[in-house]
Amino acid sequence: GFISTNTILYSNNSRRNLWLRKLAYRLKQAKNDSEKAELLYWFGPPQNRKEAKFLLYYLLYPHGLVQACVIENLGKTSDNSARSLLRSLLSSKKEKVLLQALKIMQKLKDRKALPKLWKLLKVKKSNILMAVLDCLATMPHKKSIKLCIQLLKERKLPLQVKKRILFALFQMTGYAFETVWDWEKFWKLYGKTMNIGKVYDPCEGKRKTKEGFGKTVLKPQGYNQRFGTAKQALLKKYGGSRSSEQAVYFGLDWLKRHQDKDGKWSTAKFDVHCKGFRCKGFGKGNHDVALTGLALLAYLGAGHTHLRGPFKNTVKKGLFWLKKKQKKDGSFFNNMYDHGIATFAIAEAYILTQECWLRKILQKGVDFICKAQTKDSGWRYRPHALDADISVSGWQIMALDSARKSPEIHVPLKNLIWAAKFLDNLKDINNKGNFTGLTRYHLDSPQKVKEQNPTNPNKKPKPTGGSLATSAVGVYCRHLLGEPMDSSIIEKGIQYFAPKTPKKLYSNHPQFKAQNRYFWYYAFLALFQKGGMWWKKWNHILPPLLIKDQQKQGCAKGSFPPDLHWGHVGGRVYSTAISVLTLEVYYRYKKHN
């Protein structure tokens, strides 16, 4: 099903075929993957089998955004010949092709594919099986329900697969039961008479239950590696320790003791909660929204939600405070820095708990981020700015990435493509035209450059600034936007910042000027995903350094003193939250293959 673009372009002289030839040429001439993604995005749904083949050529392209654009367009086609071609992919013996085909079918909702999907229920691989269940749930059918109930009888199914089956059954029937016996009893009584067709949403109306048929079931949670034995296994596998986990717990305990009654964490007044000698290290400005979001991320990163764990009341108060702060337009604060971090926290809370009230807040927050973005660029401190920087944009990208992991949250691909183009424009290019590895800090928008240079409308904006920290942000955000970790861009970025290991915490020596907790946080995330020599070296140095720096006595026990860079803005709360997040790297996100 995958062929060269050269073999499919010359059948007739229609305007559509001419456009297709031009598109193929532009894709070959594209300078980077974000440009390819944009071209494919605007191509739209295929109108015939040939156009579907053209898009399938890029289905396994190594960049995630390119793949996403292909899946988005193929999932919207109404042409029967194109749909027939896509159904044939469900017979593929290649796992990667099959998984991509299932993603397309989930969007396409082609009922003619049901027989092939029913056969795939016999597959033993969990990732394929769960993808099949997601497809079946979008096209309710009585046979699908019957087969899912039979599948529940298998004892060797992983718990997460069983949860996915239960949720698929809920989506197809509107009823929520937890045991196979309840489902069998229900099906015998109502299977022949009930109407099937609607896809039920747990956040719309009330979940149906029949007396005597068990309890309701929620959608399976994400990020399961943050809990229980899976968490302990990853700690051991990737080099975490009992000391690093103890430091995480002490940090979270300090944050709990210094939370305000209304649920927020204060930049400059956290010391009112101190007992005995008061903690020092206040921040400047009004960044309570950002600090509250960052503190919540620290709890959520360790698997503590408002529904479970010893800190559930702390998390609950923080989430409800953010809920109250959100305005009608979806913003949490006028500053995009604060808004991005708050939305990021809400996104992770929703993934972990699937609470419906969080979904509404998250979608509004995501919509505001997308509206505030500058076209073909990133974000600045204020919405709709005529320039952008990597620091503010980094938090927006992480928020959007977490949000899009929930299919029911709408994150437009257009905004992700703009963000990827922004990162490409921030690359520092030497005289030979090669990327140096440095990601610049700031970039004016094309619109602003045109306004400043009316006599030269073709002038392109030049990026300015840049440091080790911005390069680490650039590497990690490129990874989130689909850049493969083995690409030359990622390699050069890591080679730029990784040799500057965190040898000293407080030093005025120029060599360590860019050493700060913000840099360490992003660098550690990026290096964990990359693995290899630099990850091992950093993992040998950074966690022991942070553990040693953590306060051991008094009311400040568990906190981290503000560093010499952003510590003066966020204060002790910021330093503690971001240090805890750094120590959670082993299990916070799954390692990318």
Same domain? For 203 and 263 the reply is no
Task: Give the total number of structural domains in the chain.
Answer: 3
Range of lowest pLDDT (168-172, 453-457, 522-526, 547-551): 453-457
Same domain? For 180 and 233 the reply is no
Same domain? For 389 and 488 the reply is yes
Same domain? For 35 and 172 the reply is no
Q: How far apart are CA 49 and CA 80, in angstroms?
A: 8
Q: Are 200 and 217 in contact (CB under 8 A)?
A: no
Same domain? For 194 and 248 the reply is no
Residue 114 falls within a domain, yes or no?
Answer: no
Same domain? For 362 and 376 the reply is yes
Same domain? For 12 and 131 the reply is no
What does the chain come to in residues? 593
Same domain? For 453 and 568 the reply is yes
Q: Are 27 and 41 in contact (CB under 8 A)?
A: no
Same domain? For 416 and 517 the reply is yes
Residue 118 falls within a domain, yes or no?
Answer: no
Residue 133 falls within a domain, yes or no?
Answer: yes
Same domain? For 83 and 178 the reply is no
Q: How far apart are CA 49 and CA 86, in angstroms?
A: 9
pLDDT reported for residue 540: 96
The pTM for the full model equals: 0.92
Same domain? For 303 and 417 the reply is yes
Per residue in 54-91, pLDDT tens?
999 999 999 999 999 999 999 999 999 999 999 999 99
Per residue in 386-443, pLDDT tens?
899 999 999 999 999 999 999 999 999 999 999 999 999 999 999 999 999 999 999 9
Question: Model confidence at 1, in pLDDT bands (50, 70, 90)?
Answer: very low
**Residue where one domain finishes, among candidates 220, 254, 280:** 220
Structure tokens at 382: 């204020």
| Closest C-alpha to 121, from 165, 181, 172 | 165
Same domain? For 329 and 183 the reply is no
CATH of the domain at 574: 1.50.10.20
- Provide the angle, in degrees to the nearest 10, between the axes of the packed helices 242-257 and 288-301: 140
Per residue in 323-356, pLDDT tens?
999 999 999 987 999 999 999 999 999 999 999 9
Domain that holds residue 99: 1-108
Q: What is the mean pLDDT of the chain?
A: 90
